[in-house]
Amino acid sequence: MCGLAGQALRQGTTPDAGVLQAMTQALAHRGPDGSGLHVADNVGLAHTRLAIIDLATGDQPLFAGAAALVANGEVYNYLELREQYQLACNTGSDCEPPLHLYRRDGLEGYAAAMRGMYAVALHDRHARRLVLTRDPFGIKPLYIAPIPGGIAFASEPRAFLDAGLVAPRVRQEARDELLQLQFTTGAETIFEGIRRVLPGESVVVADGAIVERHRRAALPEGGPEPVTEEDALARFDKAFEDSVRLHQRSDVPYGLFLSGGIDSGAVLTMMARLNDRPVRAFTARFDVPGAADEHAAAQAAAEAVGARHVTLTVSEADVWRHLPQIVAAMDDPAADYAIIPSWFLARRAREEVKVVLSGEGGDELLGGYGRYRSAMRPWWLGGRQPRATGSFDHVKDVLRTPPSTWRDGIAAAEAAAASPGRTRLMAAQAADIAEWLPNDLLLKLDRCLMAHAVEGRTPFLDPGVAEACWRLPDALKVRGRTGKWLMRAWLARHLPASRPFAPKQGFTVPVAAWIAGVGDRLGPLVAAQPGVAEVARPDRVVSLFRHAAGDKHRGFAAWHLLFYALWHRAHVERAPVQGDVWEVLGAR
């Protein structure tokens, strides 16, 4: 895991080394183990390194002939690529084989060969072009911004802001999405002038302008295919074992985020099968009486496989002390309350490991969410559209103007996902994989872990696992009121101590309870923030926080406003975020 940045300008123009250094400094948290800078002709490449594979010779940029490359992430099949194509590599880096494959097979050949999570910037001096490529699921981030004379690119929007290349102006449409959905959709970010390279997209830049775009799909084409449960279990076992084996490739210690749920339990089971030493597992819980969490289930699963298990208790005092830093990590904002345990777990895990595996993607690939069961039913049988209402649809008269276009991005994703042959379930899954997964779950994982220089890996989000799972019949994903049927059946055989068919309590973060306890004090501070005052009625905000107790809708609406107030303070007002919530929001 690393950070990359750079510029591709018009011919005859040389990138400013000072600007590249400023972008590099903005990404230093992503790669504390080293940095590299390369300027050739009209292209500049910058890199910050978190050393995971080939600690001795894997510094970037990497070079081959007239081509240079910087990358963020991991190409897990690098050893297979070397052997299959007999590549003469100069380093042991996982990112060097793609450089040679590009020179051998061109853009589409090199992009199709990579198996992993990656954002790549490759400068081809002979062809006078820059190629930017992102992995198909969007596990690793990559952003572009038009600047005078060309294009800038970086792993995080803060690199453009810190270098003065883009002004921090908020797009109203994306702000409304954030408040209603908790994340933003599509290529456009919340900042005017900053765009995402889409998952699976390759962008070609020549003479300072984008001249080509190509897209690699994350999911196999077609609808469900006939397969028995036994064959599906065998297919899943083989694909998942292969994926976890590849995701464990590392020259540094690695571990697992274990929630107590089905997805991370499956990863734990496979890691225990493949490792001679005990798996290092990390679980979060909260100090609120009655808070819904599954740390007891996580402990039972860890004990069953002999894992070294660490349970971290996150207190309310910890949250108020560190929340400004946590939110500041989310420069591309996602107001998912799971950023809180993710950030604290990453900080704790960094004491022992530099890499953690996690269960992101299991719900999306195997049908785990309750909203999928609803989407499978026609409306006359009680079915309803996922995300039909937003957070502030349940809380009236708080926002100055009710958002009217906040669902446009999700609607576009749903329309694209409903391709011929797909069932209602598959369409709902595909829409989540296109938007919710990269722009909320994976964004959260990337930013919270990289804030502590920890690499997060997601073995469910692998082409082989997708091939094994995506086209399963609906009944092997959802059966009655039970989602992820196939994974539960697999766990029942391989880790019965996880009790995969038992009713689950679920994992939630008690933000509503925390806010309710300090609502009288916190509400006026949030209401007074410029970002919040622009969109919400101050008196209604104060009332919302004062009466957040006992009403989940009010509690989550209050959380979204608190998140936005802190995010706006850090990334639009560009104010320091040293101190606790009270100090940061009260500093004027």
Q: Quick one: pLDDT at residue 506?
A: 63
Number of Cβ within a 10 Å radius of residue 189? 21
Q: Quick one: pLDDT at residue 405?
A: 94
Q: Which of 51, 60, 78, 52 is nearest to 5 (CA)?
A: 60
The answer to whether domain 2-215 and domain 229-498 are alike in fold is no
Peptide bond before residue 141 is cis, with ω within 30 degrees of 0: no
Antiparallel, parallel or unpaired: β 455-457 and 116-124: unpaired
Specify which residues 202 forms β-bridges with.
133, 214
DSSP symbols for 342-401: HHHHHHHHTTT-SEEE--TTHHHHHT-SHHHHHHHS-GGGT---TT-S-GGGSSTT-BSS
Query: For residue 563, what are its two tokens?
Result: 């998140």
Q: Give the up-direction half-sphere exposure of residue 340: CA atoms within 13 A in the CB hemisphere.
A: 25
- pTM value? 0.97
CA-to-CA separations, 175 to 44, 135, 183, 382, 530, in angstroms, rounded: 32, 26, 9, 31, 14
Query: For residue 445, what are its two tokens?
Result: 């994982």
pLDDT per residue rounded down to tens, the chain (588 residues): 699 999 999 999 999 999 999 999 999 999 999 999 999 999 999 999 999 999 999 999 999 999 999 999 999 999 999 999 999 999 999 999 999 999 999 998 899 999 999 999 999 999 999 999 999 999 999 999 999 999 999 999 999 999 999 999 999 999 999 999 999 999 999 999 999 999 999 999 999 999 999 999 999 999 999 999 999 999 999 999 999 999 999 999 999 999 989 999 999 999 999 999 999 999 999 987 766 677 889 999 999 999 999 999 999 999 999 999 999 999 999 999 999 999 999 999 999 999 999 999 999 999 999 999 999 987 766 678 889 999 999 898 999 999 999 999 999 999 999 999 999 999 999 999 999 999 999 999 999 999 999 999 999 999 999 999 999 999 999 999 999 999 999 999 999 999 999 876 666 889 988 999 999 999 999 999 999 999 999 999 999 999 887 788 999 999 999 999 999 999 999 999 999 999 999 976
Q: Quick one: pLDDT at residue 294?
A: 79
Q: Quick one: pLDDT at residue 503?
A: 76
Task: For 86, list phi and psi in degrees, rounded to 5.
Answer: 50, 55
Burial 270-300 (b: 16+ CB within 10 A, else e): bbbeeeeeebbbbbbbbebeebebbbebbbb
Contact indicator for 577, 325 with CB cutoff of 8 Å: yes
Q: Which of 313, 321, 322 is nearest to 285 (CA)?
A: 313
Antiparallel, parallel or unpaired: β 150-154 and 35-40: unpaired
Q: Count of residues for the chain?
A: 588
Integer Cα distance of 433 and 137 in angstroms: 7
End-to-end CA distance of the chain: 37
CA-to-CA separations, 374 to 338, 472, 477, 481, in angstroms, rounded: 24, 19, 14, 10
SS3 of 36-79: the string is: EEEEECCEEEEEEECCCCCCCCCCCCEEECCEEEEEEEEECCHH
Q: Which CATH class is domain 229-498?
A: alpha beta
> Looking at domain 2-215, which of 3.40.50.300, 3.90.1150.200, 3.60.20.10, 3.30.70.1450 is its CATH number?
3.60.20.10
Q: With DSSP H G I counted as helix, E B as strand and the rest as coil, what are the percentages for the chain, rounded to 5? A: 45, 20, 40
Number of Cβ within a 10 Å radius of residue 35? 19
Specify which residues 132 forms β-bridges with.
121, 203
Q: Give the up-direction half-sphere exposure of residue 494: CA atoms within 13 A in the CB hemisphere.
A: 22
Query: What does the domain layout of the chain look like in residue ranges?
Result: 2-215, 229-498, 511-586
Query: For residue 362, what are its two tokens?
Result: 């299991």
DSSP symbols for 437-492: IIIIIHHHHHHHHHTTT-EEE-TTSSHHHHHHHTTS-GGGT-BTTB--HHHHHHHH
Task: For 243, list phi and psi in degrees, rounded to 5.
Answer: -65, -50
CA 275 to chain CA mean position, Å? 26
